[in-house]
Structure 1
Amino acid sequence: MLKFLVVLLGVGWLLGQLIRYFLRSKLAQFAKQVNEAAMEQQRAQQRAQSKKDVNVDFIPREQEEKRRKDIQGGEYIDYEEVKE
């Protein structure tokens, strides 16, 4: 009876170690696949974003002068300091 329990515990321990090893390897493999998929998605987003960029080569003089006027002045807002 004692031999049976020792053998049973030994087999159980061995199976636990084997299952732990295989689960770790499968989990590592799954994590690697998820990481690669995320990197590929990021690359695809970067490619799509680079296609959306707009480069302006020419700005008409009228708009250029108007932009300068808007930037130079600014708007003044009157305010009162309130002491509590």
Structure 2
Amino acid sequence: MIKFIFTTLLIIFFIRLVAPTLFRWLLGMFIRKKMRNGTFFYTNMHQQQQAQQQQSQNGNGRAKGDIKIDYIPEQPKGKTFNGGEYVDYEEVK
């Protein structure tokens, strides 16, 4: 029973005091490493640029920035706005 209580107190002590300090230290090391490599902020943006370049190279031969319109819907002809409908109302005081 005493061994269980001692082990439980030791685990609580570790979780309460040692784990946050260890976590902050490890997170700081990770961020410093990423900042040194220059990949902390720009990793995702670099991957997106590579994907866009591959799409433009693998596309149908069009230059980057060209616009292709597949379908233009027909516009209805002769519709004009006639002013709407008149609605009666009574003012309640």
TM-score normalized by the length of structure 1? 0.37
Write 1 or 2 for the structure with the bigger share of helix.
1
